[in-house]
């Protein structure tokens, strides 16, 4: 890890006054408008095979503010508007680098409501945060302290679909340092019956957060469906109720994954996982709900950035490696392995728990790839010539 401190975002909930809420809502709308205007201008230039950069869109913003129809852009802080243009520039950079799809326009109803303020647009002193264009500080619930002596380099204010307000402060955190090196390594097999199965034999149960609130969610969705589209206030209340249930599910899931990934990173020097194509797996309509609730992609993302923070290694093996069908004792690959088979006996006489065996194989292949300095080659065909596609789920939703 580099000697410089890691930058972390510390997120807190806050309760704005009516004036602050109105100012922030106005800012969100202006940020979305500027982003969409700049995207439209760049798209039009793209059709002419011309490229427009950030400096050109910044000059456009200055011109837009002088027009009668967009004069209201002057009523909010200019910093979040400039940051919106920078975010658009990043989106195009990722597109041209083939790391992302072409940027999309922001929807008033569906897009995330947020605005980013840099140091010139906020004041943070003695635990009090005041944003530009506001007379007083935000009423923030400081659920945990910022790092001692921390000075936020940027502040992002957002409102979720449930109507909750959050502020995220980006600070350097000196407490994030590499952990002492160990010789421990673990292989991880993800699933639905159990969220994780470790090569140590431990199985982590799947909390199934969405299923716990499914009845409440269905009832709230039915109430929303009965509201007439022209019934603004009542329909908005019903929509917030549905969003609140989704937010509760998301918060519980994220909290569980944070605790789980932190524990794995602290206990192991090397963590081996599978490079699963979750985006393709959720196309299975009968399993999409359960796979999404398991949040395998979010689990991997947390694992990787925490490993980088604390000096650990995460190795992803090829998704086509037949970890479930390979005997970890003798190396024989079974011809078939139906999903309902959870325990099987190899010809060598070894009886395997399907998931523990897979985790052991994942660990062995990952460590071999690490020593050789190369990745695992795709194994798309079994000895019989059939596709060796890895199946991680059962045909029924648990």
Q: Which two tokens stand for residue 283?
A: 């196309």
Catalytic residue numbers? Answer: 189, 274, 355
pLDDT at 306: 95
Quote the CA–CA distance of 83 and 156 in Å, as a whole number: 10
Candidates 280, 317, 285; CA nearest to 300 is: 317
8 Å CB contact between 263 and 278:
no
Specify if 313 maps to a domain: yes
- The verdict on 160 and 13 lying in the same domain is yes
Quote the CA–CA distance of 248 and 214 in Å, as a whole number: 12
- The verdict on 147 and 168 lying in the same domain is yes
pLDDT at 4: 55
> Would you give the DSSP letter of residue 381?
B
**Which residues, at least 6 apart from 130, have a Cβ–Cβ distance to it below 8 Å?**
122, 123, 124, 136, 137, 138
8 Å CB contact between 34 and 81:
yes
pLDDT at 373: 52
- In three-state form (DSSP H/G/I as H, E/B as E, the rest C), the secondary structure along 34-80 is HHHHHHHHHHHHHHCCCCCCHHHHHHHHHHHHCCCCCHHHHHCCHHH
**Which residues, at least 6 apart from 342, have a Cβ–Cβ distance to it below 8 Å?**
353, 354, 355
Tens digit of pLDDT for each residue in 253-306?
A: 999 999 999 999 999 999 999 998 888 888 888 889 999 999 999 999 999 999
Residue that is last in its domain, among 173, 196, 228: 173
pLDDT at 10: 95
pLDDT at 344: 78
Q: Any idea what the CATH number is for the domain that residue 323 is in?
A: 3.30.420
pTM: 0.83
- The verdict on 257 and 345 lying in the same domain is yes
- The verdict on 49 and 113 lying in the same domain is yes
Distances 132 to 15, 135, 252 between C-alpha atoms, Å = 17, 8, 33
pLDDT at 329: 84
Tens digit of pLDDT for each residue in 375-393?
A: 443 333 333 333 333 433 3
- The verdict on 26 and 154 lying in the same domain is yes
Quote the CA–CA distance of 335 and 383 in Å, as a whole number: 8
Specify if 180 maps to a domain: no
8 Å CB contact between 277 and 192:
no
pLDDT (tens digit, 0 to 9) for every residue of the chain, 398 residues total?
444 578 999 999 999 999 999 999 999 999 999 999 999 999 999 889 888 999 999 999 999 999 999 999 999 999 999 999 999 999 999 999 999 999 999 998 889 999 999 999 999 998 899 999 999 999 999 999 998 888 899 999 999 999 999 999 999 998 888 999 999 999 999 999 899 999 999 999 999 999 999 999 999 999 999 988 776 788 889 999 999 999 999 999 999 999 999 999 999 999 999 998 888 888 888 889 999 999 999 999 999 999 999 999 999 998 888 888 888 888 888 888 777 788 878 878 888 888 999 999 999 998 886 655 544 433 333 333 333 334 333 333 33
pLDDT at 46: 87
pLDDT at 302: 95
- The verdict on 34 and 167 lying in the same domain is yes
pLDDT at 374: 46
Longest dimension (CA), the chain: 82
**Which residues, at least 6 apart from 53, have a Cβ–Cβ distance to it below 8 Å?**
89
Gyration radius of the chain over CA positions: 25
- The verdict on 277 and 308 lying in the same domain is yes
- H or E stretch covering 394: none
Specify if 380 maps to a domain: no
- Residue-range definition of the domain harbouring residue 253: 185-205+247-372
- The verdict on 68 and 109 lying in the same domain is yes
């Amino acid at each position: 890890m580099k000697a410089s401190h890691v930058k972390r975002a510390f997120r807190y909930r806050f309760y704005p006054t009516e004036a602050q809420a109105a100012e922030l809502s106005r800012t969100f709308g202006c940020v979305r408008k500027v982003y969409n205007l700049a995207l439209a201008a760049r798209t039009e230039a793209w059709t002419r095979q011309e490229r427009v950069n950030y400096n050109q869109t910044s000059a456009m913003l200055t011109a837009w503010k002088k027009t009668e129809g967009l004069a209201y852009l002057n009523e909010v802080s200019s910093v979040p508007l400039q940051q919106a243009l920078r975010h658009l520039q990043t989106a195009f950079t990722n597109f041209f680098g083939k790391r992302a799809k072409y940027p999309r326009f922001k929807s008033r109803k569906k897009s995330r409501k947020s605005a980013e303020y840099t140091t010139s647009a906020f004041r943070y002193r003695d635990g009090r945060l005041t944003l530009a264009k506001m007379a007083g500080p935000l009423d923030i619930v400081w659920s945990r302290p910022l790092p001692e002596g921390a000075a936020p380099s940027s502040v992002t204010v957002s409102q979720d679909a449930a109507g909750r307000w959050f502020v995220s402060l980006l600070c350097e955190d000196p407490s994030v340092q590499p952990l002492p090196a160990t010789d421990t390594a673990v292989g991880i097999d993800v699933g639905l019956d159990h969220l994780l199965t470790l090569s140590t034999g431990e199985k982590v149960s799947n909390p199934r957060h969405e299923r716990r609130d499914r009845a409440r969610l269905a009832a709230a969705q039915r109430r929303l469906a009965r509201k007439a589209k022209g019934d603004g206030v009542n329909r908005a209340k019903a929509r917030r109720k549905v969003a609140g249930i989704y937010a509760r599910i998301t918060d519980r899931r994220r909290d569980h994954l944070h605790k789980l990934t932190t524990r794995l990173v602290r206990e192991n020097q090397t963590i081996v996982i599978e490079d699963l194509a979750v985006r393709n797996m959720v196309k299975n309509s009968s399993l999409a709900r359960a796979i999404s609730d398991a949040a395998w992609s979010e689990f991997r993302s947390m694992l990787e950035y925490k490993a980088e923070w604390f000096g650990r290694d995460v190795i992803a093996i090829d998704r086509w490696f037949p970890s479930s069908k390979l005997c970890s004792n003798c190396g024989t690959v079974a011809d078939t392995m139906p999903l309902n088979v959870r325990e099987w006996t190899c010809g060598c006489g070894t009886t395997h728990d399907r998931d523990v065996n897979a985790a052991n194989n994942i660990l062995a292949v990952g460590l071999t790839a690490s020593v050789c300095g190369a990745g695992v080659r795709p194994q798309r065909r079994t000895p019989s010539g059939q596709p060796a596609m890895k199946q991680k789920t059962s045909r029924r939703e648990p």
